[in-house]
Amino acid sequence: MSTDGRPDTASAMELSAPFDGAADPGAPLTWGQRALWIAIRRHGPSHAMFSLRRVVAAPRRAALDVPSALRAVGALVGRHSSLRTRVQEVGGQLRQVVAARGEQPVLVIAIGEPPADDGAALAAQVAAELASTPFDHGREWPQRVALLVSGERVCQIAVVFSHTTVDFRATEVVLRDLRLLLLRGAVPTPPPAQSADIARLEDADRLRRRNARAVRYWLDSHHRLPADTLPVVGPAHAPRFQRCVLTSRAADTAARAVARREQVSSSTVLLTAVAGVVAAWSGQDTCGIYTMVNNRSADGYREAISKLNQLGLLVISLADRPAFAEALPRVWHAAVEAYRHAYYDPEQMAQAHEAAGLPYATGVNKHCYFNDIRLAPEAGLPGDGPDAAALRAALADTGFAVAEGLDTFTWLMRFEVIDAPGGLGLAVTGDTAHLPPDVAERFLREVERLLVDAALGAVPWPWTAAASADHEATQARSRPVPGDR
C-alpha cells in the first residue's frame, strides 16, 4: 500500500500465469473490431472507451492463495483463444494472431489487513490504474490482471480487458468462467465461439447479404435525418466536451413504473424520453439516435468471446405529435429496425457513405448517441404503482455533478444510462458550445421531469412545453449580443 492508502501498483510483484490452448490459424479482424479500430484511429489509443474494467471477489468457501489464482488465470486464457490473440499487421493487413501457448503477466499487490469490503474498492482503483495506459495490441495480451492479497489470501482480482477483444456480454461470460475456475478448478462446458471464429463466419455469403441490407438501411436513414439538431448557446469551453451526471431515484422509479404499465422495457421508456427532449430542443419533427447493439441474437453468437457490438441507427418521427405513451411502441419498432441493421462491415459502410456524399465516422456527429450500460438486472416496481407525493418529493434528492472533460469526442451529445447507488444515473457528454454544464443539467432534469410526469399520468403533446420555454429563455440569455467582445 502507498502512504495515502491506495494500492501501489508500481511496487507490485509481477508473476506470470502460463497458458496452453488449442492452435488457431488466426483470421482477419471482425466487423466489430474494425469499427473500434476506426475509432482508435480517430481518437488515439488512450481514449477511455477502449477498455473495460472489472473486479472479481475471491470465493469465500476456502482461502484462495496466489498459486491457485495463477492456475485459474492460466486456464482461463488457455480456454479462450480470444484472450491469447494479438492484432498484428500481416501482409499489409491487420489480422488476429492467436498464440497456442505463452504466459499472462499478473500483478500481485499486498494490501495488508483488508477493509470492510474485503478490498473491493481498492481493486476498483487498481483496475482504473491498469486501464490508464493504452493497450499495445500488437505485443500485449488483450487483458491485464492483478491480484490483491492480504497475507497469503487473495481477496480480489482486478481485470482490465481491451475492448478490441470483448464487449460487455463477452466480459460477463469470461468472468463467469473465471469464477468457476477459482471455485472448482474447471469449466464443465466446451468453450463458445471465439473472435477468430466470428471473423471466419463473416466471410460467408449469408452475412455478406446481411451487410448489404444494413448498408442500404443506413443510407436511406441518413437521408431522413434533420440537418441541424441542438442549437449553439455560446462559445465552446476548454476542454470542448464535458460529461455531466444526474443521479436520480425519481427517474429510476418513474421509468420502471411506465415500463410496467405499458409493457415495455425501462430502456425503451428512457430512450423515448431522450428522443422527445432532443426533438423539443432541436425544434425538429424527426430525431436521429444512435445506440449500441449487442448482435447476439443468433445461437452461435450468444456466448461468443468477441467484440460483436456495433452501432445501430434509429429514425424516430414525432410529426403527428403523439402522446408519450403512444410514442413508446413506435420507438420500440424503430429500435428493432436499428437492431436488425446493426451488424455490418464498417469499411464497406464508410465506402458507401462516401460514394453517396454522406458523412460517416468523420468529424463530430450532430445526432444523439444513447447507451444503456446498466449492469444490474432490470427489476420490476413493487406494489401497485408509484405514490405521487413520494415520487414528486424524490425529485428533491436528485444530485448533479460535473465529471470528466474531453478534448475530442465522436458525438455532439452522448446520453448514458448507468447504475448508481439508490437510483439511476443519467449522464450526458456534450459539446460545450451546445451543452455547457448548466444547460446539460437542465437537459437531464427535463428528461427526469418527463419520466415522472409519464409515471403519474397521461402526457399529451408537447411533452416538455414548460421546460422548452425555460430552455428557449436560457438560449436567448446565452446568445452573444452583436458587437460584444
What local confidence, expressed as pLDDT, does residue 478 receive?
A: 40
The bridge status of strand 85-90 relative to strand 93-98 is antiparallel
The bridge status of strand 399-406 relative to strand 241-248 is antiparallel
**Left (φ > 0), alpha (ψ -120 to 50) or beta: where does 361 sit?**
left
* Alpha carbons 165 and 163: distance in angstroms, whole number: 5
Q: Which residues are CB-contacts of 220 (< 8 A; sequence separation ≥ 6)?
A: none
**Topology given in CATH for the domain delimited by 13-201:** Chloramphenicol Acetyltransferase (3.30.559)
Residue given cell 464487449 in the structure block: 167
* Alpha carbons 420 and 426: distance in angstroms, whole number: 9
* Alpha carbons 139 and 45: distance in angstroms, whole number: 14
Q: Which residues are CB-contacts of 63 (< 8 A; sequence separation ≥ 6)?
A: 152, 153
Cβ atoms of residues 313 and 361 within 8 Å: no
What local confidence, expressed as pLDDT, does residue 50 receive?
A: 81
Handedness of CA 184, 185, 187, 192 (dihedral sign): positive
* Alpha carbons 325 and 313: distance in angstroms, whole number: 22
The bridge status of strand 411-420 relative to strand 365-372 is parallel
DSSP-assigned beta bridge partners for residue 26: none
* Alpha carbons 21 and 431: distance in angstroms, whole number: 46
Q: Please report, for the chain, the start and end positions of each structural domain, with discontinuous segments joined by +.
A: 13-201, 209-478
Helix (H) or strand (E) holding 424, with range, is strand 423-431
The bridge status of strand 143-150 relative to strand 101-110 is parallel
pLDDT along the chain (485 residues), means of 10: 62 94 95 90 66 94 93 98 96 95 98 94 96 94 98 96 93 97 96 97 94 98 93 96 97 96 96 96 94 92 96 96 97 97 96 94 92 80 78 96 93 96 94 98 97 96 63 43 36
What local confidence, expressed as pLDDT, does residue 306 receive?
A: 97
* Alpha carbons 157 and 415: distance in angstroms, whole number: 30
Cell of 86: 494479438
CATH of 209-478, one of 2.60.40.10, 3.30.559.30, 3.20.20.10, 3.30.565.10: 3.30.559.30
What local confidence, expressed as pLDDT, does residue 208 receive?
A: 95
Going by C-alpha positions, the residue among 248, 442, 271, 295 that lies closest to residue 371 is 271
What local confidence, expressed as pLDDT, does residue 148 receive?
A: 98
Residue given cell 403523439 in the structure block: 322
On the question of a common fold for 13-201 and 209-478, the answer reads yes
Cβ atoms of residues 317 and 194 within 8 Å: no
Cβ atoms of residues 157 and 55 within 8 Å: yes
What local confidence, expressed as pLDDT, does residue 39 receive?
A: 82
Cα distance between the two ends of the chain: 52
* Alpha carbons 249 and 394: distance in angstroms, whole number: 6
